[in-house]
Amino acid sequence: MPTIVLESEIHSDIKTCFDLARSIDMLKESLKQTKEIPIAGKTTGLISEGEWVSWEANHLGVVQHLTSKIVAFESPYYFVDEMVLGAFKSYRHEHRFKEKNGITIMTNTFHFESPLGILGRIINKLFLKRYITNLLKTRNKMLKFVAESENTLDFLQMIGKG
């Protein structure tokens, strides 16, 4: 099962980073290039334990649907979402946060398994792991930018948190 681990150093408080990471609106905004939109479940605001969201997106030229559910949650230190329905055989995305001296370390650990047996494993090695890594990096860069900007409060108010 492939695993992607990304660590981001963010010059912002842990609660802001945690809330931005679980913001449906933030995710939608950060992945505009895939036309990712929430279509069912929790479709706006901050997702919490037990809640789910279904997404529609264009990945690799194909419209796809994916539903994930928050299966573990401890604010502001971690939450975990797992795929309930979608193109993967399975996925688990762990979001962890720790703060030291006003800097938050955000760690994303993404475990996934493709369908199609050996063909899926070949696709993972050829491009899928790199593709997912780039999506996560894009999302993390935007989260870092918003969390570190002077307009963080404006963004949080815009998405209905503030």
Give the pLDDT means over successive 10-residue stretches in the chain (162 positions). 95 94 92 90 96 92 93 98 94 97 96 86 85 95 90 63 49
Q: What is the pLDDT at residue 159?
A: 57
What is the Cα–Cα distance from 15 to 23, expressed in whole angstroms?
12
What's the N-to-C CA distance of the chain in angstroms?
A: 39
Long-range contacts of 125-131 (CB under 8 A, 24+ apart): 128/2, 129/2, 129/4, 131/59, 131/60
Question: How far apart are alpha carbons 161 and 155 in whole angstroms?
Answer: 9
Place of tokens 């802001």: 16
pTM, rounded to two decimals: 0.89
156, 21 contact by CB (below 8 A): no
For residues 10 and 150, give the distance between their C-alpha atoms in angstroms, rounded to a whole number. 14
The per-residue pLDDT for 162 is: 45
Rounded CA gap, 81 and 61, in Å? 25
Name, in order, each residue with C-beta under 8 angstroms of 111's C-beta and a sequence gap of 6 or more.
1, 2, 3, 90, 91, 92, 93, 94
> Which pLDDT score, from 0 to 100, does residue 108 have?
98
Gyration radius (Cα) of the chain, Å: 15
Count Cβ atoms below 10 Å from residue 39 Cβ, excluding itself: 12
β strands within 45-147, DSSP E: 52-59, 62-74, 78-85, 90-100, 103-113
